[in-house]
A and B are shown apart, each in its own frame.
Chain A
Amino acid sequence: MIVVIGLLLFLAALLGAPLFVVLGSFALLLFWDSGTSIVVLAEEQYKLATNPHLITIPLFTFAGFVMAHSKAGDRLVRASRAVLGWLPGGLAIVVVATCAFFTTFTGASGVTIVALGGLLLPMLTTEKYPEKFGLGLITSSGSIGLLFPPSLPIILYGIVAMVSIDKLFIAGILPGALMMGVLAVYSIFIARKNKVPRIPFVASDAVMTVKEAFWELLVPVVVLVSIYGGFVTIAEASAIAAIYILFIEVFVTKDIAIFPKEGDDRPDIGLIIRESMVMVGAILIILGVALGLTNYLVQEQVPMKILAFIQQHIDNKFTFLLLLTVFLLIVGCLMDIFSAIVVVVPLITPIAAEYGVDPIHLGIIFLANLEIGYITPPVGLNLFISSLAFDRPVVELYRMALPFLFLLLCALLVITLWEDLSLMMIR
């Protein structure tokens, strides 16, 4: 009976029932089956209200959406182009850098591809980069900044797995840089091969464009210095980031209007709040409902049962990590990153701990895997977003993203197997 309903629910999930509904049904079903009162679900969800980091989710998301709605993207592209464009493969590196920057703040919701893709792709093709390369690059860069602070998936991971978010932030920097580096080197290679002309460095341009984008370039500095300078907590830093970005975009660059007005087509604060909170609501409701399910899993010691099962077949950390990678890639291409964190993390953390995987390192592995899951065929989310944004059949994008997928997988292996890359900075 339970199994049949479970299968039906799984089918409902595949047919597009909201994930929180599917998780909620499972939780209700299991609690009902074990004779527990369903009030546990609300109780667990209410525990969210005791989490001091929870507030960073709406505040950082809001900050990211404000940036995405302003013309910050254009300014950042211009500035990084003036500064980095003279390099071989310069423009492609610019694409990687600005996409990473943007994704870090918007949390890989596909916003990056939509917001920057339309601007970056024509730039790439006019500079004689093959279009295939351009599309693949933008598609895969759309999730590349996930490992940098203060990205939302890191925060969510920290909350769910109960590990230090500060440490996760720092641990993600080198692995994130490695992934960017791999894409940058490949870009240089392609640029050389296609004899893309290099543009000379013009100091006055660089100064001017950097000046234009100065306030936005300062955002990561503000966030990082305030957290790691020992001034404020992450929660306070999120408030600072939100108010800072809002102030810049409303009063300095004037890209955002305070109130909607006739004949003023700038986005207004209300609109941005509603849009960003739609995303926050979608994440938080999954998180809340999943807490109930997690409670059941822990109570029934499900992770320990899985552990007992795989311990029969796997006896060392290396094999475990490989298996984990394969598993997470599948999860990453099936599930959106936020739901994957909420659903999968409570299951794998106790198991990984048994195999001696450092919890911080596990977080980085997890996020790196899901980052790549975004461009893994057949259902990687970025592939679909690009297909919509650039009006290309999704199958064509599979092919275009393939070389990037391969490169990032290599980087992923390095990240997974070389623990110190993540941990050396926090030791």
Chain B
Amino acid sequence: MLDLIRSVEEKLVRAEGWLLVFLVGLMLTLAVYNVLYRNVLVPIQAKLTIQEHHTVAKTPEPVAERDTKTEPAEESGGFGGGFGAESDDESGFGGDFAKDEAPGDENGGFGGDFAQKADEPADDQAGFGGDFAQKADKPADDQAGFGGDFGDKPSEAAEPAPVDDNGGFGGDFAATEAPAADNGGFGGDFAQNADSDEGFGGAFGDTKPDQPSPTEKPSEPVVYEDPPELSGFAKFVDAFVQAVKLEWIDVLLRHLVLVVGFLGAMLATQRRKHITIDALSKVLPEKFLPWIDAVTAALATVICAFLAVSGADLVSISREYPKELMWWADEWEFQLVFPLGFGLLALHFAIRVLESLAIGFRANEGGQS
């Protein structure tokens, strides 16, 4: 019986171990990708687009602190900051990146939105995909996307997209805000050039009058001139960099840490490597140890079960009020880690109880014979 349980646990632990290795590998890859993206690709993009346009670019006001909904760059989600620096020298490009990922995710389903337009309630646009250059087909906003490319328009005012603010992706580079007060903390509006109406001036100008608060935007679309065209290569780089900007990575990474933590804790249970205070067991006679171990493991089993229930409650609450974390996952899907994680921990501890009891009985028998 005990052997069977042990072999089951061994298999379980092996599976957990491999999952752990995979997830840590994934975490490392994504984290490194993020670093490269923010520190290599974006500066290149900025440089190219700015070189192309330095003649038309006015120096916009720094936009850094405009956004009140998000935290300052340094603190903003995970890998945030990195960029702040950029904004000073790159005529008006910048500050934005830093603010694009407040933990609370104003940006709803960003990134993904490349492909995800279809599910947006705002139906003003023909699924994204090819339409980097999907210009002026918006009745709502007359503005020709940016340089003829990219600008896919955000949702209309009339459609309060449940995915919070600016209905979608950074189409809004050039972005013709939806008149509604929705474009909160997102970074789409790369560089809200205060008043540069040459569109896209130095950067992805989301050219609209700068307002202290996003909620006070004008309720009608601003009329823009056509922004100047980028040359082919810059356009390509620009599109490419934008296309590989996976905004959800930060959110995913932070959740991966939780999952990895649980898996690590499971292995720690099996290896008996949990942090303990454990002052008495060093002085107690050895024959008591298995029994003490059984008692503490039993306590742990019960507590983990309670915590699993608490996690399950959280999941059911979140399912009632779903919140999108990334375009491909809701919050509750990641919160499942609590009931599952604590449940498995309870299982591991229960096995420990049995093991300790077995050791205790065997020692007793050995003592008697």
Contacts and interface: CB of A to CB of B under 8 A. Distances in A.
A18 B274 contact: yes
Contacts of B20: 273-274, 277
A281 B279 contact: no
Contacts of B192: none
Interface string B248-274: 001001110110111111111101011
A51 B75 CA distance: 9
A17 B31 CA distance: 35
Contact of B32 (A18, A28, A57, A243): A243
B32 A239 contact: yes
Interface in B313-339: 313-314, 317, 334-335, 338
B32 to A, nearest CB: 5
B205 interface: no
B338 A46 contact: yes
A293 interface: no
Interface string B289-303: 000110110011001
Contacts of A339: 275, 277
Contact of B74 (A17, A41, A233): A233
- The A interface is mostly helix, strand or loop, or mixed, namely helix
Q: Which of A28, A49, A231 has the most CB of B within 10 A?
A: A49
Residues of B in contact with A, size category: 35 or more
A235 interface: yes
Nearest to B301: A21
Contact of A39 (B80, B85, B314): B314
Contacts of A22: 277
Nearest to A22: B277
Interface in B46-67: none
Interface stretch (B33-41, B136-144, B150-158, B171-179): B33-41
B15 to A, nearest CB: 12
Contacts of A54: 254, 257
A335 B273 CA distance: 15
Interface in B208-225: none
B7 interface: no
Contact of B277 (A24, A46, A334, A384): A334
A232 interface: yes
Q: Which 4 A-B pairs have the closest CB atoms?
A: A281-B264, A284-B261, A239-B31, A281-B265
Interface of B: 17-18, 20-21, 24-25, 27-28, 31-32, 34-35, 38-39, 74-82, 85, 103-104, 250, 253-255, 257-258, 260-269, 271, 273-282, 292-293, 295-296, 299-300, 303-304, 306-307, 309-311, 313-314, 317, 334-335, 338
Interface of A: 12-22, 24-25, 28, 37-43, 45-46, 48-52, 54-55, 57-59, 62, 230-233, 235-236, 238-240, 242-243, 246, 269-270, 273-274, 277-286, 288-289, 334-336, 338-339, 379, 384
